[in-house]
Amino acid sequence: MLDEMRTFVVLAESGSLQRAAERLFLTPSAVTRQIQRLEAALKTPLLDRRVKPGRITREGRAVLDRGRQMLRIMDDLKASSAKEAEPSGMFRVGLSFMLAQPSLVSSIERLTSRFPKLQPVLSTHLRSQLVEQLRTGELDVALAFLSADDSMPGDLASSVIAAECLVLVKARGPQRRPRRGSKSKDHALDGRWVLNPTGCFIRAAIEARLRELGSPFELAAAINNIDMQLSLVASGIGFGAIPSRFLASHPKRRQLERITRTGVSIEASIVFVQAAHLGRLEPAAAFLQKEFRDHFAAVRSGAP
């Protein structure tokens, strides 16, 4: 049943029968037969075939989670009995949107140089999505951005690798004011905002502070991309909130200035998290954690 389970996992990850067949070097009909054999063995439908392409059923999701764990365990057993058990194959790394920066590429390059058989796959998500994907085995490790008073769930191994301070910025020169009237106690914050979409703790903290001050909250733009945010802020359409380290090196820094004396203080943590039972991928996870820790330490010290 191991082959059938592997086929089911590949089908779920590839999203289509044709792509799964190509990855497995099988015909689509052979993939279909393997899924049918797995359903017969488990006595439960894994795909809802009333729609095209077939969707994974609720029961199929449960089987998928356990199947990934089973395959990981079997791969680890094979690796531990082999003469060469170095990390190899796909290594899935998740990043919070705020941390998905080109400066991390050098760490990934050193990872692949140290473990040449490794194939890193990077993706970006919200923190809640990173946690869920680590739990279900869709990610191996993640670099998450958390508010200073938040923490990762206890069932995931995590380590704070850096502290972060966020600052409020605006374009140099006149600012557009909100459309609504303001009775704010602090007119330095009277303006529109360029922030992440709903669900970001940075945005929530700013909204809460504005409510305390009696200021209107109005978005100029919402996007999960820090470089785009800074470019929009530099254009003058609204205020922004960014990690302080960006002001020192970002190409737009001369077009920006900090908004001070507002009473707004946003502290954050950068946390490295890994899924359970990584097996042969454990050395890769440890290596990448140190790489990321060293990277942010160098950024803080101003090293090149």
Judge if the upstream peptide bond of residue 87 is cis by omega within 30 degrees of 0: no
Paired strand residues for 48: 55
* Contact (Cβ atoms closer than 8 angstroms) between residue 140 and residue 95: no
Would you state the pLDDT for residue 301? 67
Q: How confident is the model at residue 233 (pLDDT cuts 50, 70, 90)?
A: very high
- One of 1.10.1040.10, 1.10.10.10, 3.30.420.40, 3.20.19.10 is the CATH number of 2-81, namely 1.10.10.10
DSSP state of 173: S
Would you state the pLDDT for residue 152? 86
Question: Above 60 in pLDDT, residue 108?
Answer: yes
Determine the average pLDDT of the residues in 295-299. 88
Question: Above 50 in pLDDT, residue 241?
Answer: yes
Determine the average pLDDT of the residues in 8-19. 86
Whether pTM > 0.85 for this model: the answer is no
Would you state the pLDDT for residue 254? 87
Determine the average pLDDT of the residues in 261-283. 84
Query: What digits encode the pLDDT tens for the residues 33-87?
Result: 999 999 999 999 999 888 887 889 999 888 988 888 888 777 766 665 444 568 8
Would you give the distance in Å from CA 96 to the centre of its chain?
4
Question: Above 60 in pLDDT, residue 14?
Answer: yes
Would you state the pLDDT for residue 83? 42
Determine the average pLDDT of the residues in 127-131. 89
Average pLDDT, the chain: 85
Domain range annotation of the chain = 2-81, 87-304
Would you state the pLDDT for residue 79? 62
Query: What digits encode the pLDDT tens for the residues 109-125?
Result: 999 999 998 999 999 98
Would you state the pLDDT for residue 12? 87
| Residue among 15, 20, 50, 44 nearest 32 (CA) | 20
| Beta strand residue intervals within the chain, DSSP E | 47-48, 55-56, 89-96, 118-125, 141-147, 157-171, 192-195, 218-222, 239-243, 256-258, 266-274
* Contact (Cβ atoms closer than 8 angstroms) between residue 29 and residue 38: no
- In angstroms, what is the C-alpha Rg of the chain? 23
Read off the amino acid at residue 225.
N
149/42 Cα distance (integer angstroms): 44
CATH class name, domain 87-304: alpha beta
Q: How confident is the model at residue 175 (pLDDT cuts 50, 70, 90)?
A: low
Q: How confident is the model at residue 289 (pLDDT cuts 50, 70, 90)?
A: very high
Would you state the pLDDT for residue 198? 86
| Residue among 77, 80, 57, 74 nearest 8 (CA) | 57
Question: Above 60 in pLDDT, residue 104?
Answer: yes
183/132 Cα distance (integer angstroms): 41
Determine the average pLDDT of the residues in 161-173. 88
Higher pLDDT, residue 285 or 65: 285
